Amino acid sequence: MTNEVRVRFAPSPTGALHIGGAHTALFNWLWARHTGGKFILRIEDTDRVRSTAEYEQTIMDGMRWLDLDWDEGPDVGGDYGPYRQTERLDLYNKYAQQLLDEGKAYKDGNAIIYKVPLGLDIGFDDEVYGHIDYKSDALVDGRTGVMKDIVLIKSDGFPTYNYAVVIDDHLMNITHVIRGEDHISNTPKQVLLYKALGWEMPKFAHLPMILGKDKKKLSKRHGATSVYEYRDMGYLPSSIFNFLALLGWAPKGNVEIFDRDLAVKEYQLCDINRKSSVFDFDKLNYINQSHITEMPAEEKFELIRPFWEGMGVDCSKLSMDYLTKVFAIMAGRGKTIKELAEFSDYLVTFAPVAARYDASDLTEEHRAMLKAFCGEFMAARPATPEAMLAFAREWGEKHDAKLKDIAMPLRWMLTGYKVSPGIFEVIELLGFDEVTSRLKHYGLL
C-alpha cells in the first residue's frame, strides 16, 4: 500500500483545459497507469476571482475526451477528500496554527506568514532535471536585505498556492509531483515547508516546456491552445494523446505512431527529456492522419457524422458498405476529420457540388466535345476504373481531345473540386445512375 504510486493533476479552474495542462495530466496519468497506481484530480480553486464551476467542468470534460480517467477527484470522491481546495480550508488553518504554535510562523493582521530561517539547504533532486541547488538565503530580497517570508494564509482566509500544495500533496499521500517546468522555481519554497512541518517529501519531476516553432513559450499566438479547439477542428483524441506524449518522451525505437496501451507499457519517468519540445503542427497533422486512416469505418463515421451534419450534408441514408468504400478512397486525404468531411462531401450528396461549380467556364466547343464523350461513355458504361480510363484515352485519340480536357471538367461536375481521388474511381463509387443525374444537371446528357 505504501509503495503505491499516487500522482495528481491539480488544475486551477480559471480557463479551459489547454495543451500544457493536458500534457501535464497525461504525463501523470501515464505514470499511474504504468505503475498500477492512482491518478488523482485536485481542483486548486483558491483564486476566488478567476475560478468558476464551469471551468472545472470544462477541464473534466477535456480530460474525459482524452480518456484520462481519474481514480479520485471532486466528482468521484476517494479516501483523501475533499478534492477541491476551497473545501479544505480547515486543514490549511490547522497546520498554519501548528506552525504559529511552534513559533515558526507569525501573524500580520489576519495573514499567517512562515518565517524563513537563514542557512537552510532547500535544494531537491528532480527526476528529470537532476539536483537543483537552493539555499534559503537566496530568498532574501537582494535590494532591501530583508528575508521574503512565505505567506501561508492570506488575510482573506485563503491559503497561498505554495502552502496549500504542500498540505494537500502530503495529506493525499502523493508520491510523485509531476508538473510543468515553470514550477521549478516554486519547489524550494515547498521544500522549506515540508521541512518546517517535518514531513517526508514526494519525488519531483518537472516536465520540459512546450515551445512554439519560433522557440517562444506556447501561447495563443501559435494557434489553438485549448483541447476543445482541437476536437472541434477534427483531431482525434488518440492523435492528441499520441502527440502530447511525444512532447518530452518517446517509446523505444523512436516509434512515432502509437496508441495508449503502448505508451502505458513503455512510459518511464527517467526517460523524460529535459530539453524543451516544440509544438509542431505538421507533426500533429501527420499523426492525426495516421490515426484517422487506421480507424475502423464505424468509428470514423461516428466522428465524421457531426461534421457532415454541421455542413448540412445529409448522411443518414448511407450504408456501412458504402461508407467503408468512401473512407478507403479518401485514405490519406484530409489532416483532420473536419477536412475529411469537407473533402468527401460530394460522395454523400450533390448539393455542395452544384454550389461550388456552375460550369460557366466551359466554352461552347468544349461543352460539345464533353457532350459527345458523355453520351458514348454512359452508353458503354465501362465496368472498372481501368476500363473507363482506357475508354477515355481511346475516345480522346479518335476525336483529338486531350485526356485532361475530359477528366478535369468531369471532376469539377462530379466533385466540385479541382483535386480529388482518381475521377474514374469516383465514378465507380458514385455509380452510373448518380453520375448520370449529375451530368444531366450540367446539361451534358
Torsion sign (Cα): 397, 398, 404, 410: negative
Dist CA 8 CA 278 (whole Å): 25
Is 12 or 175 the residue whose CB approaches ligand GLU more closely? 12
**Is 402 labeled as catalytic in the residue annotation?**
no
Is 28 or 136 the residue whose CB approaches ligand GLU more closely? 28
Is 226 or 289 the residue whose CB approaches ligand GLU more closely? 226
For residue 210, list its beta bridge partners.
277
Quick check: 128 and 205 in contact, CB under 8 A? yes
Min dist. Cβ of residue 183 to ligand GLU (A): 5
| Cell numbers given for 424 | 474514374
DSSP letter string over 77-104?
B-TT---BGGG-HHHHHHHHHHHHHTTS
DSSP letter string over 26-47?
HHHHHHHHHHT-EEEE-B----
Q: Which amino acid type is present at position 299?
A: E
Question: What does the per-residue mask of binding to ligand GLU show for 5-44, with x meaning CB under 6 A?
Answer: -----xxx-------------------------------x
Per CB under 6 A, 165 contacts ligand GLU: yes
Q: What count of other Cβ atoms lies within 10 Å of the Cβ of residue 283?
A: 15
Min dist. Cβ of residue 46 to ligand GLU (A): 9
Per CB under 6 A, 208 contacts ligand GLU: no
Name the catalytic one among 104, 189, 203, 220: 220
Quick check: 378 and 436 in contact, CB under 8 A? yes
Min dist. Cβ of residue 10 to ligand GLU (A): 4
Min dist. Cβ of residue 294 to ligand GLU (A): 34
Q: Of these, 104, 154, 170, 183, which contacts ligand GLU (CB under 6 A)?
A: 183
Is 105 or 166 the residue whose CB approaches ligand GLU more closely? 166
Quick check: 385 and 425 in contact, CB under 8 A? yes
DSSP state of 444: -
Dist CA 100 CA 93 (whole Å): 10
Min dist. Cβ of residue 165 to ligand GLU (A): 5
Min dist. Cβ of residue 42 to ligand GLU (A): 8
Longest CA pairwise span in the chain (Å): 102
Is 51 or 336 the residue whose CB approaches ligand GLU more closely? 51
Dist CA 281 CA 235 (whole Å): 11
Is 176 or 179 the residue whose CB approaches ligand GLU more closely? 179
Per CB under 6 A, 242 contacts ligand GLU: no
- How many residues bind ligand GLU (CB under 6 A)? The answer is 7
Q: Of these, 84, 179, 231, 300, which contacts ligand GLU (CB under 6 A)?
A: 179
Binding positions for ligand GLU, rule: CB under 6 A: 10-12, 44, 165, 179, 183
Q: Among all residues, which ones are annotated catalytic? A: 220
